[in-house]
Amino acid sequence: EAQVTQNPRYLITVTGKKLTVTCSQNMNHEYMSWYRQDPGLGLRQIYYSMNVEVTDKGDVPEGYKVSRKEKRNFPLILESPSPNQTSLYFCASSPGEPNSPLHFGNGTRLTVT
């Protein structure tokens, strides 16, 4: 089944403790992206990657890192999480053409205390 898989689905952590949220897609998509969803703000893009070894900042990149060493994987790294990063995170992928729709994972709900 074609899908975008995120892990974990739920994560509770403390301020400053490094964490990684994994994202993997099995559709051979060129483009991958991370979004955070907050009430009243919709989805805001954190980072995106047009292809392997190519990443770029989105609208809200502060406090996050990403890497794209393989086509299928695009992990999101929080080196020193803070409470304002408590949010619902989504990974998405697409073939890469501008009019291609995104395929989303099921989300990771992160709570930072």
Partner 1 sequence: AQSVAQPEDQVNVAEGNPLTVKCTYSVSGNPYLFWYVQYPNRGLQFLLKYITGDNLVKGSYGFEAEFNKSQTSFHLKKPSALVSDSALYFCAVKERWGNNRLAFGKGNQVVVIP
C-beta of 1 vs 40, nearer to partner 1: 40
- Cβ atoms of residues 46 and 76 within 8 Å: yes
How far is Cα 3 from Cα 9, in angstroms, rounded to an integer?
Answer: 15
C-beta of 58 vs 63, nearer to partner 1: 58
Q: Per CB under 8 A, does 75 bind partner 1?
A: no
Q: Per CB under 8 A, does 1 bind partner 1?
A: no
Strand ranges in the chain using DSSP code E only, listed in sequence order = 4-7, 10-13, 19-25, 31-38, 42-51, 54-57, 65-66, 76-78, 87-94, 103-104, 108-112
How far is Cα 56 from Cα 66, in angstroms, rounded to an integer?
Answer: 9
How far is Cα 50 from Cα 62, in angstroms, rounded to an integer?
Answer: 20
Q: Per CB under 8 A, does 43 bind partner 1?
A: yes
C-beta of 19 vs 31, nearer to partner 1: 31
Among 40, 62, 69, 113, interactor with partner 1 by CB under 8 A: 40
C-beta of 59 vs 79, nearer to partner 1: 59
Q: Per CB under 8 A, does 105 bind partner 1?
A: yes
The amino acid that residue 91 corresponds to is: C
Residues that bind partner 1 (CB under 8 A): 4, 31, 35, 40-45, 48, 50, 58, 90, 92, 98-99, 101-107
